[in-house]
Amino acid sequence: MKLQVLGCAGGIGGQEQFTTCFLLDNDILIDAGSGLTKLTIDQLCEIDHVFLTHSHLDHIFGLALLVDSVLGKRTTPITVHASEEVISTLNTHLFNWKIWPDFSVIPSPGNGILRWEILPKMETRELNGRFIQSHPVSHTVDGVAYWVHNQNSGFLFTGDLSSTPGLWSHFSTESRLKHVFIDCSFTNSEITIALASKHYCPRTLLADVSDMPKATQFFVTHLKPGQENLIMDELKANSDFQFTALTSGLQFDY
């Protein structure tokens, strides 16, 4: 498996310019933020599956543009995997003919370019030897992390989250876990905002992952614009873990 980071920003105007979107091989997206706009039309047409962590705009708005761009250029629909609540939210508030057309019935009912598939929590999809498992996380809306692996190794992408002890107890003994892509949005001085918006700050993140193996490689995503360096300094100053700020354009092999 090859993973390319198309976007990982926690907003606009900061060190990173594009919001969350990862490309797995050439045919799977994990979240669909503005990083998706980096792809050419030929690359967009290769995408067969999209896995959404949650329904917030910075993680999903590229989906609306994706299905519009590939309409008429491919013969099969793009399948979007997400929780039942996320799918209901997007159908109600985005693909509702007011904000954006309902592409599940375009070009015709029963033949839409967009196909929804509910992925219940803790269930796994296998796509040509790639396994993608949904894990519940604590956020202001229904959210999940994804454990993505083949037979040999893989990565955990947390999506947006706050304290979720069960996630870390589950993965503390996972031998195939090579990388963790983890949200840390706020500085410690902004812990009140972090708790209210259900994101990590360094203090709450470190408390949650304390039992993970010290060799775990953490790549930090969703850093808020203008706070990137301070957040990373706070993480590194108070821990023996390996923390690296994720940047768009990075590629990983599994």
Q: Who's near 205: CB < 8 A, 6+ residues apart?
A: 182, 184, 235
In this predicted structure, the answer to whether residue 238 has a pLDDT above a threshold of 90 is no
Residues 243 and 220 sit within 8 Å (Cβ to Cβ): yes
Residue given tokens 């775990």 in the structure block: 216
Residue pLDDT, tens place only, 175-199: 999 999 999 999 999 999 999 999 9
Whether the full predicted model's pTM is greater than 0.85, yes or no, is yes
Residue given tokens 């039942």 in the structure block: 84
Residue pLDDT, tens place only, 80-123: 999 999 999 999 999 999 999 999 999 999 999 999 999 999 99
Tell me what the pLDDT averaged over the chain comes to: 97
Residues 172 and 152 sit within 8 Å (Cβ to Cβ): no
pLDDT of residue 81: 98
Distance of alpha carbon 83 from alpha carbon 119, whole angstroms: 5
Q: What secondary structure does DSSP assign to 55-85, as a single string?
A: --HHHHHHHHHHHHHHTTT-SSPEEEEE-HH
Residues 205 and 244 sit within 8 Å (Cβ to Cβ): no
pLDDT of residue 218: 98
What does the CA dihedral 64, 66, 71, 73 come to, rounded to 10 degrees? 180
Residue given tokens 């013969």 in the structure block: 75
Distance of alpha carbon 198 from alpha carbon 163, whole angstroms: 8
pLDDT of residue 9: 98
Domains (ranges, CATH) in the chain? 2-253 (3.60.15.10)
pLDDT of residue 226: 97
Alpha helix ranges (H) inside the chain: 41-45, 57-70, 84-93, 165-171, 191-197, 202-208, 228-237
- Give me the mean pLDDT over the 216-244 stretch: 96
What is the percent of the chain with per-residue pLDDT over 90, rounded to a whole number? 99
Strands 130-137 and 143-149 come out as antiparallel
Residue pLDDT, tens place only, 112-167: 999 999 999 999 999 999 999 999 999 999 999 999 999 999 999 999 999 999 99
